[in-house]
Each structure stands twice: as structure tokens, then as C-alpha cells.
Amino acid sequence: MRRRLWLAPLLWAMAAGPAVGVRAERTDDPVFADAARTAWRYVESRYRPETGLVDGAVGWEHATMWDAGSVLAAFVSARELGLLPAEECTRRVERVLKTLADVPLVDGATFARAYATRGGGPRGDGGWSPTDVGRLLLWLKIVAAQEPRLAAQAEAVARRSDFSRVLRDGYMWGTRSAKGQHAEFQEGRLGYEQYAAAGFAAWGFPVDKARSFTWNAIPVQVMGQPLLADMRGFDRLTSDPIVLYGLELGWPDEAKGLARALLAAQEERWKRTGQVTIVGEDAIGIAPHFFFYYCAYTNAKEFAVDVQDPSAVVSGPRWISAKSTFAWHALLPGEYTRRAVEAVQPAASGRGWASGVFEGGRRSTGGENVNTEAIILEAAAYARRGAPLIEAR
């Protein structure tokens, strides 16, 4: 309790100012409409009717549970934007729910890390990721609220799992199996942990410690901005979980200042270096990692890159994240976010949005993927609606 008391004045100062990420002025800015149409091209071209899923990335005919949440987000957002007829949206969402109701669970506990988009068979190491499952759970709750006739099916999928093996002592636990060895670990750090926990909490599952932005937080300064790091280490403070929380739930009071300061730190880096900066997690076709976390703060370093292999140390790449750019522009629009939207335009193509644009030039990263497209669609729908899908509680 003591650590939360000494943190309170900092959080109060960070939260000072008007509420953000809860309600915004509606905008029909054509930049969002154009971006959404480009994003929808990928979703349509990689849609698999037999499962209702969408390929996670070009050349990867699988979907993680995070991707499954993104698929539902893409369909619901596209319906709201007039890109997908309402009845077709319902049909596709129902197809996804049927797939998720039938796929095998890992050891009877919860969903595997990924399933084939053709056929729905599990892929991976036999483990599970509660961070990914948390995003799926949140979107199942959104579907239940927006599609009443599918509410029972959505709830049945949400309650398929035996979460007694996933949730313990208020935290989320993941598993990984390799070479016959089974490992369990507490999963989630500041940002990702709270966003995923919100999905579990939406269905009443106990994640009180994981849901708190303050329980494991310590103050840090990044580019003169008061941010938070995770006292447990191995943190990845990046845009994705923060903007998704804002778009889908609206930021709770303890996160409003963190969100504003995170964007301000990125803007300050641009002021000091001349490099437009929008961090994010993205799939980029660079071996051997292929997936990178560009963070404002990670492992005690500012504006550094991390990868999924905990033993690896990388120095790049650095890029302007397309999905994070549009999400920030929807949530906290201003001259800097508009500049970022202009900078990321080379990532658009007839195939959809690439992950972003490499820093230091105008070269696209390539790597169209369902997560990028879905979040851009979400941002466009938020900009039109002017409010999150579900109010944070």
C-alpha cells in the first residue's frame, strides 16, 4: 500500500487537465475515411469464410487470440463505417463465435496461442497467452453488447475456459511448452497488463492487481515527461495497449495523465531530433525476430526496441507505427498527430496498411497484418462516434 501512497501525488499531477480518451468531438475528417477503406482491403482479401477468421499477416495463415479480437474489431468497426452491411457483419461475427466455440483448448484450460485460419486447427507450443485472451474477452463483451442476438454465443465462448489455471492472486499466468518442458509465468507488465485485465474483468473474473495502473508502477522521466515504468522490470511502455484502452473503454482516471504524457514524450523526441515519433508493436519482415516492440521506455531505456526472445538484445528497427498514429490522432488530435498521419502515408498500398514507415526516410516497413488494419478501422470508427465502445468501470 505504501508504494501506491507515494505515487498518488505524481498520478494526480499527470491526470490534471481535461478528461481525455473518454469522449471526443465527433469528426468526419476524410483522412480517417480514406485510411479505413485502405485497411478494409486487407481484411477482405485475407478473410477465410470457413472459420470467419482473417490471416494474422501476409503469408501467415493463422490467428492468435489477440488477432481473433482484432477480427471482431474489424468487422464491428467496418459496419459502423458503412464498409460492411449489418447483416453480413452479424453473419461473419457469428462464424467467428462458432469457430471459437469448437476449437480445442490447451489442456482443457483456455485457448491456444494461435489457430489456423483455414480449418481452425491449433498451432504453437502448447501454451497460452492471457494477454491475447484478454483482448479477445473484451471484444466478446463488446459483441454481446452490440449484437444482442449473439450475446449468448459470445458469453458461451468467454466462459469456455477454466480460468482457475490462468488467474491467480489477482494476476494473469501464461504457459509455454518447448522440448517437452512446461513453463508457467506471470504475464503482463504496465500497459498490456491493465488492458488485458480489463477483458477478464468485463466478465467478472478476478484480476484486481493486474487491472491497476498503480500497483506495480514507479515514476520515470522520458524526454522531460512524467511516465510510469513497471517495478518488476521487462516492461514495454508503448502505444498499443494505451490507445486500445482509450478507443474501446475510455481511459480510467489513473491512466489519463499517463496517456497524455506518453504522446507528449513522443512529440518531444520529434522536437529534439526532427524525427516524427510514434511507437508501437508491429510485425516487420526482418529475421530472425519478425515482431518488434518499439517503446518509449523498455528495460530502463528510452525509445528502445525489444523482441519476444528475452535473451536477445536489438538496436532496431525504429519506425512510425501506422495503427498507433491513427489511434492517437483519433484520441488526442492535434498538429503533431496530423503531422504523424502525413508522415505515415507511404505505408498505404492497394493491399492495405503496412506496419508503418521506417524512421529516417519514407520507406514502408511492409508487413500488412490484421492487427494494423483492425486498429486503424477502430480509430476511424471512434473518430466518427466520438466515444469509446464501452465506458470504463
pLDDT range class, residue 176, cuts 50, 70, 90: confident
For residue 259, is pLDDT > 90? yes
Helices (H), the chain: 2-15, 30-45, 65-80, 86-102, 130-146, 151-158, 192-202, 208-211, 239-248, 253-273, 322-331, 335-343, 370-385
Average pLDDT over residues 108-133: 93
Residue 82: alpha-carbon gap to chain centroid:
23
pLDDT given for residue 28 in this prediction = 61
Average pLDDT over residues 26-46: 91
Evaluate whether residue 293 is within a structural domain: yes
Q: What's the pLDDT tens digit per position in 362-387?
A: 999 999 999 999 999 999 999 999 99
Phi, psi of 270 (to 5 degrees): -60, -45
**How far is 135 from 170, CA to CA, in rounded Å?**
17
**pTM (2 d.p.):** 0.93
For residue 118, is pLDDT > 80? yes
For residue 174, is pLDDT > 50? yes
Evaluate whether residue 391 is within a structural domain: no
Strands 280-283 and 291-298: antiparallel
Evaluate whether residue 216 is within a structural domain: yes
For residue 311, is pLDDT > 90? no
Phi, psi of 283 (to 5 degrees): -85, 120
pLDDT range class, residue 10, cuts 50, 70, 90: very low
Q: Which residues pair with 291 in a beta bridge?
A: 283
Average pLDDT over residues 292-305: 97
Q: What burial class does residue 392 get, using C-beta atoms within 10 Å of its C-beta: 0-12 exposed, 13-18 middle, 19+ buried?
A: middle
- Dihedral sign, CA of 326, 81, 245, 101? negative
pLDDT given for residue 124 in this prediction = 72
Helix (H, G, I), strand (E, B) or coil at 109: coil
pLDDT range class, residue 24, cuts 50, 70, 90: low
- Dihedral sign, CA of 331, 335, 338, 344? negative
Tally the C-alpha atoms within 13 A of residue 188's C-alpha that lie toward its C-beta: 33
Evaluate whether residue 71 is within a structural domain: yes
Q: Which domain holds residue 366?
A: 2-385
pLDDT given for residue 25 in this prediction = 53
pLDDT given for residue 2 in this prediction = 33
Q: What's the pLDDT tens digit per position in 266-285?
A: 999 999 999 999 999 999 99
Average pLDDT over residues 144-159: 97
* CATH at 25: 1.50.10.140
Tally the C-alpha atoms within 13 A of residue 86's C-alpha that lie toward its C-beta: 4
For residue 227, is pLDDT > 80? yes
**How far is 145 from 165, CA to CA, in rounded Å?**
27
Number of structural domains in the chain = 1
For residue 11, is pLDDT > 70? no
Which one has a higher pLDDT value, 236 or 177? 236
Evaluate whether residue 392 is within a structural domain: no
For residue 4, is pLDDT > 90? no
Tally the C-alpha atoms within 13 A of residue 84's C-alpha that lie toward its C-beta: 26
**How far is 52 from 308, CA to CA, in rounded Å?**
28
Do 268 and 281 form a contact (C-beta atoms < 8 A)?
no
Phi, psi of 95 (to 5 degrees): -65, -40
Identify the CA nearest to 118 among candidates 53, 45, 44. 53
The three cell numbers locating residue 387: 466515444
Q: Is the peptide bond before 317 cis (omega within 30 degrees of 0)?
A: yes
Residue that the C-alpha cell 484502452 belongs to: 245
Helix (H, G, I), strand (E, B) or coil at 162: coil
Percent of the chain with pLDDT strictly greater than 70? 91
Please provide the average confidence, as pLDDT, over all residues in the chain.
92
- CA distances from residue 45 to 53, 178, 295, 317 in whole angstroms, order as listed: 12, 34, 31, 28
Evaluate whether residue 214 is within a structural domain: yes
